[in-house]
Amino acid sequence: MVARPPTLRRFREPTRRLPLRWGNYADRYYTGLVLIIAGAMHLQGANNYTLIILLIGTTSTVVGYSIMPAQGWRRMIVALPAVTQIWLMLTGPMSMWTLVIPLLCWLIVRHRPLVSYLALALPIANGIILPRFYQEYSQMPQALAISFVVLVAAAWLARLIAVSAAARR
């Protein structure tokens, strides 16, 4: 077993310190994360003829954010921007720049320090570069796959920045 560096052993997610009124941290975190991702996927698979998929995706995303372990106001303020951004993605690869919104929502819900918001530069760069290669809606699955990797990398970068900031304190 690999020993963790001292900094990582001392760092504890800020949301783990919150007293939860119901459920436990792991269940709420993983269920919320799955619902957020599933909601986004449902919305991207929708069109004018499958409105029920839009309803399912929207509801799933809102419920996912609302059960994440976080302060109540943080969970509530991100629901509308997150859903709005996913609906904007229905316009195609030219709207990849909007992926900065779900990362911003994630950083708010995860109680990341302000310095970790530097990670928002990754989806911004993704939104500038990707539309140069993918313009048609038929290319959306490839653009989304690349963008998903960029978003996950940015979220982990934000966490590393938060760990580093906590170690300096």
The string of pLDDT tens digits covering residues 105-135 is: 999 999 999 999 999 999 999 999 998 998 8
Q: With a cut of 60, say whether residue 5 has pLDDT above it.
A: no
- Cα-trace Rg, the chain: 17
Please write the tens of the pLDDT for every residue from 140-150: 888 888 999 99
Q: What is the DSSP string of the chain?
A: -PPPPHHHHH---GGGGSPPSSS-HHHHHHHHHHHHHHHHHHHHT--TT-HHHHHHHHHHHHHHHHHSSS-HHHHHHHHHHHHHHHHHGGG-GGGGGGGHHHHHHHHHHTT--GGGGGGGHHHHHHHHHGGGT--SGGGHHHHHHHHHHHHHHHHHHHHHHHHHHHHH-
Contact 127, 120 (CB under 8 A): no
Helix pair angle (121-129, 100-109), 10° resolution: 170
Tens of pLDDT, residues 9-66: 567 787 788 778 888 888 999 999 999 999 888 877 777 777 888 889 889 999 999 9
* pLDDT for the residue numbered 4: 55
User: Which band of pLDDT confidence, cut at 50, 70 and 90, is reported for residue 100?
Assistant: very high
Burial per residue of 35-46, b for 16 or more beta-carbon CB atoms within 10 angstroms, e otherwise: bbeebbbbbeeb
Give the domain ranges of the chain: 24-90, 92-169
pLDDT of residue 159: 93
Identify the pLDDT of residue 22: 87
Site of tokens 């302000």 = 114
pLDDT, residue 21, reads 86
